[in-house]
A and B are shown apart, each in its own frame.
Chain A
Amino acid sequence: SAVISQKPSRDICQRGTSLTIQCQVDSQVTMMFWYRQQPGQSLTLIATANQGSEATYESGFVIDKFPISRPNLTFSTLTVSNMSPEDSSIYLCSVEQGTLNTEAFFGQGTRLTVV
């Protein structure tokens, strides 16, 4: 299984600022995924990041608010821009491996609190 390292593990940020979350994988993967988990809620996919192309965003998420970089096959970043308290969530990075990419593994998450 892939080993995924996410940084930072948690942060407390002032509203109006931006935070960049890093995700490092120990093997090359085609697609990386970013999820948001609001307090007490399930996981919602923000976007899919492919190396060498723009990320594909899900409905309700836009690039200006959540810019994503994917410079190579083992690394990605998600930036939460112009933060408000509503952005307080756990943000998780994920990769898929295995037969037909049917096994999904997650980083340890970034617990973000916006004050």
Chain B
Amino acid sequence: AQKVTQAQTEISVVEKEDVTLDCVYETRDTTYYLFWYKQPPSGELVFLIRRNSFDEQNEISGRYSWNFQKSTSSFNFTITASQVVDSAVYFCALRSGYSTLTFGKGTMLLVSP
């Protein structure tokens, strides 16, 4: 069985603050894929990143960065210098083996001006 835990239900920050969204996963498979999605108030799910279990390199894309640590089964997401447009629900997801995607419960990020 696979599981994704996003312990932070809601985070509120002020614009320009840095914020980290936590994601902890569980799987018995050695090959797996981790994802982050953004869901703005409009409802669509926007793909942000995919990381496979063989690649522990951290990734940076503009103001976004991801820290993948197999030793702690974590795949955390940091937004640097947050903006109001970053306000959304962020989902971490896992696929391992031949299973379907399993989503965490999501973290609602509210960025105030």
A contact set with B: CB distance below 8 Å = 1, 33, 41-43, 45, 48, 90, 92, 94, 98, 102-109, 111
Contact = CB atoms under 8 A, between A and B. Distances in A.
A109 B46 CA distance: 11
Interface residues of B, number: 19
Contacts of B105: 41-42
Interface in B49-78: 50, 52
A108 B35 CA distance: 18
A33 B45 contact: no
B44 A33 contact: no
Given A41-B105, A43-B91, A107-B44, A33 B100 contact: yes
Contacts of B44: 106-109
A1 B47 contact: yes
6 contacts: A33-B100, A45-B100, A102-B95, A104-B47, A104-B101, A106-B44
Contact of B33 (A42, A92, A102, A106): A102
A97 B68 CA distance: 23
Contacts of A43: 45, 91, 101, 103
A108 B39 CA distance: 10
A33 B105 CA distance: 19
A105 B45 CA distance: 8
Given A42-B91, A108-B42, A103 B47 contact: yes
Interface string B29-44: 0000101010000111
B101 A108 contact: no
Interface string B77-103: 000000000000001010100001101
A39 to B, nearest CB: 11
Nearest to B37: A106
